[in-house]
Amino acid sequence: MMSKPFSIGTVVYNGSEFMSVAKVLSNEEVSSTSHDMCVPRDEYNHWAYLIVGYEESKSLRTGVKEDKKILENIKNKYIQILKSAIESTEGKIQSNGYEIDNKLVYHQISGVKSTKNLKHFLQSEKFTCQAKKLKDSENSILQSRMYLKLTNQEANQLLQKEYDTLNPDQKKKVHAYAFVAMPYTYSNDKLKLNSEAVFVAFMPRVQFEAGVFFDGTLNNMYNTNLRVDFEKYTQAQVDVLGGFSSQEKISTNGPKRFLEGAPKEEVLEKIQTDLKKSINFYKNGIGDSKLKDYVEKSAKGASEELYAYFEDVLSRKASSVEEFVKEELLPDKGSYQNDQSNIAILHSLYDTNIKDSKSKGEFFRKSIYITGAGSYNPYLKKEHESDALLGKALGMGETGVLAKVNQACKFIKESIEQKNLSYIDTLVFDVFGFSRGAAEARHFVNSIADELDLKLKNDNKEFVLYKKDGSNLYPYLIKEIEGKKDEVIIDKIVFRFVGIFDTVSHYGLYQEDDKEDELNLVFDDTKISNVLHLVAKDEYRENFALTKLQTNVRHFEEKSFHGAHSDIGGGYIDGKDEKIQLYKSYNIRENSLVKTKKSLESKLKKWNKKYRWLQNDLISYKYDVKDGFYIQITKRIRGSHRNVSYTLSAWMIRSSVSSEYSKIPLEYMHKKLKELKIPFTSLGTHKVTDSILKQNQQKIVNLDENTIKSIRAKYFHHSSDLSGVGMDGADAIDDSEFYGKRVVY
């Protein structure tokens, strides 16, 4: 989205390098192209130039929205300084520069090069990206051009030299913003100067793009990867113990020595070595001095658990690989038992490979991932930890909403520092979030955008934000972070795209409307360029209230999809069974038990006919049902009078629920991103591949009720569950339903 750098005169860019080009004419020649400013040909061609600092240009930028006007202001202020410097030099070059009106003006003898046209000239100087944009017209007569080349680094060094020379008692880092140059000739004590030939341009535009991805509550790609790595490794060992070859390229020296009857200590050592090669967190951490001790300790503990498991496998007493890993190798269930969410997938697809941008200046891009509320980043904690109750339940504390936003700002600051950038013309954000991560994304955007002013809407229909008073935007990004607020200059910020899945904030002890309170979730549609919010139609949990966009403008879209919260944002493990408690009634007297049972059976059948959560209406009073309803009767005898009462519970049992459906909202989001040319690679293996979903994909997107009903049993997850803490559905609106709809703000 980087805008074309505007300049007065021909100024071309090649990454951090820039060049002013002037056509050199004899007295008889006339300029034949509008591309060139002209100066007379002479034996000695010179350039006089100066560097304009960001801070000193503040008064010239304040309240000015158009780049052209800013450059005109710069030209008008500094042109006389250049002229005075040229006139006072009398053709002499002084390497330290000439001080005129508290500015250092530098002079340089220019080389002159003759080529057929400007395109050939740029090619000869290796400015190939700019050359490609020009037509390859041929001229029989060679044309001569003089040129001045500088880099961003050189300009900053010259400006710093100027400041240090003119302010010897002060220490301050300065930043180059623009430069002004004039070509002239000086021969035989005679000055030839074209007063109209003034070159004014910004420094090469430095654009930094950041994709910021806030994952959902208890969604954590690092913890998911640890589980998957352990499962793959353990399954490979089980294959070897069973006499099979592993399908994965995984080290299996441990079980081989186990089968060969090697001493236990040797087998344990081999398993530890295997783990350090096969578990990515161990591989990455072994070279980190702060992680190494934890890796050694963790691998040692895991090897002992695996040794015991090998013994159980051979004696046919072992649990499943998944159960063993969950119970014995992982620090917690929670975030370790989720699959990759759509946020984690999008993070992996954000294209950080910069192509063909040198003609616009310097260009950088970074993908930043923030773990979901309630979970820790193991690379920051230097270990894998259990999930945090305060973060997952209330969205507060060191793993809560505000802490995650602050963490994102720190990561952005570190990313800028890693590139050794001191000046960024435009900082561009693409921000994504799911669940509480969507609330974090909204808070992150608004906490910055609310402080800024709209400068303009650029050619790409993106809102460019700045401060009317011309001040640096960096402090607005790192306001919660300790550090020097002016160590980096950020001139403009663009929120190019915000992509969020089912915003559920639930911040604090009580669920309430957080959109305008501390979290500030309402977007200003005059500051955010594009927003897409995908929401779940079939989320019924009382504690999962939805916060909508609150606006209806063309560049903001809110699209509903059938499915539960994580059917939209992703994170379910494919093929898992569901056991959902739909109903529970206490203190049923014995004389009304039969009637209550029949009423419940009838309600279950009617409810299932309406929604088709199960393909059949099987009802069993024994817990042996695979796909059907299980009614549980619990007898209670209480008090000295031996009063008998019953508790009646209804469970819905579903086997092997697919997670494929979440790819449909993912594809919808990805399609929008590609339409807007947001930098993402192709979906690859994350595309919808299931034949039924693929065949009905457009009907699903269009919310066709018959299609939705036909696929619900296999593909939709039932998130509300009376047996789960905080998972209750909202109150039912009538007796035919087991629960009602969630609150929408």
Going by the DSSP 8-state scheme, the letter that residue 398 receives in this structure is G
CA distance 344 to 432: 10
Q: At what angle do helices 221-241 and 289-314 cross, to 10 degrees?
A: 40
pLDDT level of residue 3 (50, 70, 90 thresholds): very low
**Within 13 A of 102's CA, how many CA atoms are on the CB side?**
6
Distance CA 727, CA 539 (A): 11
CB 82 within 8 A of CB 49: yes
Average pLDDT over residues 492-496: 97
pLDDT of residue 137: 65
| Mean confidence (pLDDT) of the chain | 89
Q: Provide the strand spans (E) within 26-162.
A: 37-40, 45-53, 98-100, 103-109, 112-115, 143-151
Q: State the pLDDT at residue 519.
A: 86
Backbone angles phi, psi at 498, to 5 degrees: -125, 120
CA distance 368 to 628: 43
The model's pLDDT over 66-77, given as tens digits with 9 standing for 90+, comes to: 999 999 999 999
pLDDT tens digits along 510-552? 656 555 567 899 999 999 999 999 999 999 999 999 999 988 8
3-state secondary structure 628-683: EEEEEEEEEEECCCCEEEEEEEEEEEEEEECCHHHHHHHHHHHHHHHHCCCCECCC
Return the percentage of the chain with pLDDT > 70, whole number.
Answer: 92
Quote the pLDDT of residue 197. 86
**How many helices (H) and strands (E) would you count in the chain?**
23, 24
More reliable by pLDDT, 232 or 726? 232
SS3 content of the chain, % helix, strand, coil (to 5): 35, 25, 40
Does the model's pTM come out above 0.85?
yes
Residues composing the chain = 745
Report the DSSP beta bridge partners of residue 172.
Answer: none
- Asked whether residue 6 carries a pLDDT value surpassing 80, the answer given is no
Please report, for residues 105, 358, 564, 588, 593, the alpha-carbon distance to residue 639 in angstroms, rounded to integers and kept in the order given.
Answer: 99, 84, 43, 16, 20
- Cα 497 to Cα 606: distance, rounded to the nearest angstrom: 44
Please state which of the ranges 10-14, 90-94, 152-156 shows the lowest mean pLDDT. 90-94
- Bridge partners of residue 109, in order along the sequence: 46
- Tokens 């050199």 sit on residue: 24
pLDDT, tens digit (0-9, with 9 covering 90-100), for 238-250: 888 886 666 667 7
**What percent of the chain is predicted at pLDDT more than 90?**
64
Lowest-confidence region among 288-292, 304-308, 440-444: 288-292
Residues contacting 529, CB < 8 A, separation 6+: 461, 462, 463, 494, 495, 496, 497, 555
